[in-house]
Amino acid sequence: MSPGMVMTAETKREENAQESQYQKGVKHLCENGIAKVPNKYILPVSERPNSFVNGESNASEINLKLPVIDFAELQGSNRSQVLKSLANACEHYGFFQLVNHSIPRDVIIRMMEVSGRFFELSFEEREKYMSADMWAPVRYGTSFNQTKDGVFCWRDFLKLLCHPLSDVLARWPSSPVDFRKFAVAYAKETKCLYLMLMEAILESLGLATTKNKTREDEEEDDILEEFQDGSQLMFVNFYPSCPEPDLTLGMPPHSDYGFLTLLLQDEVKGLQIQFQEKWVTIEPIPNSFLVNVGDHLEIFSNGRYKSVLHRVVVNSTKSRISVASLHSLPLKTMICPSPKLINEANPRRYKDTDFATFLEYAASREPKKKNFLESRKLT
């Protein structure tokens, strides 16, 4: 064997060994000590968080003030005005901050605290749940799609299928010992909150009212029942501090697949949304949820409500934890534009879709921006 062939074989073994380390997650990588971002995590210059296009930065220096929806007022006499604010938020921002919600503060505190303790477990304990199978009901993974991503992102996650709980709970992590107890309480509370928000969303679209319903509202009653039996996925995200945060992202630009996502985050800033072609940082509001429109709601509303690109940046001093609760109709249900939102002036704009279609798409390629939703649009 020639020296060149030996060198090639050694290089290949080194590359395979490095790839194996990356598959174990960025938390494991950091635990072993790094002073620089490995090449596997370095984005092309044009995709970095502070890149420039035509001499202009792609990021805004201001923090965007998102619409704030007061959940308590939504349940009170001011509901009609709050519904208008909700419609405006979904149409023009795709995001809103939800305050004065109904979830007890101790439920939120315990969920965040036990999530942190999960990621503090040894790698051997976390590894029990590691899988590249995107269909797995419980999955510990890294990046976005660790089997397809050419460049990894600076994130580890724990995915939990939450419905029906009786079928999946035994597969959830048993460590920390109180993880299931606190995560179940949180999952149930966010599901109830989501259902009340979806009733308001339907009403804001002119599809249902809370009073004086007629037979014409039976379709909306049916879909509310479907939401009650709908899918719920929770992603517990961990973004370690990063030695060179300008070279990578915690999550690349993407939109969420479902109807609504309820995001719980700690006090560390990191989420950015695309607004007027600029990336703007969202300031977390204590004891609130950041709620965003998903692809399914954009399809259902026939394009009236917008599923917006968002991404996560990381920093050099602090780790960050968030819990994203994604909600939609049952996984096998076909999502289509509401017939009541289609007319001659507003023709049907989207193909039917379901969760299996999304997973097949996500598993087949490296996700880039809003490709899945774009693939559902009718030309």
pLDDT of 12-67, one tens digit each? Answer: 555 555 667 788 999 999 998 899 999 999 999 999 998 765 556 667 666 678 99
**Structure-token pair, residue 297:** 């709601």
What are the residue ranges in the chain where pLDDT is below 70? 1-19, 52-58, 60-63, 208-221, 363, 365-370
**Residue 365 pLDDT:** 62
Contact residues for 281 (Cβ-Cβ < 8 A; gap 6+): 60, 63, 64, 269, 271, 272, 313
**Residue 374 pLDDT:** 87
356-364: long-range contacts (C-beta < 8 A, 24 or more apart)?
356/331, 356/332, 358/257, 358/295, 359/134, 359/135, 362/134, 362/145, 363/134, 363/145, 363/147, 363/148, 364/148
**Residue 101 pLDDT:** 96
Q: Tell me the pLDDT tens digit for each residue of 222-243.
A: 778 889 999 999 999 999 999 9
* Rounded Cα–Cα distance for residues 206 and 12 (Å): 60
Q: Tell me the pLDDT tens digit for each residue of 346-378.
A: 999 999 998 878 877 776 765 555 678 888 999
Is the domain covering 46-209+217-375 a CATH 2.60.120.330 domain?
Answer: yes
**Residue 211 pLDDT:** 47
User: Hey, how many other C-beta atoms are within 10 angstroms of the C-beta on 43?
Assistant: 19
Instruction: Give, in order, the Cα–Cα distances in Å from 136 to each of 139, 160, 322.
Output: 6, 9, 21
pTM of the model: 0.90
Are 111 and 160 in contact, with CB atoms under 8 Å apart? Answer: no
In the chain, beta strands by DSSP E: 52-53, 56-57, 59-63, 68-70, 95-99, 138-142, 156-161, 232-239, 251-254, 260-265, 271-275, 278-281, 289-293, 310-312, 320-327
**Residue 368 pLDDT:** 57
Backbone φ, ψ for residue 325 (5° rounding): -110, 110
Are 367 and 145 in contact, with CB atoms under 8 Å apart? Answer: yes
**Residue 242 pLDDT:** 97
**Residue 223 pLDDT:** 79
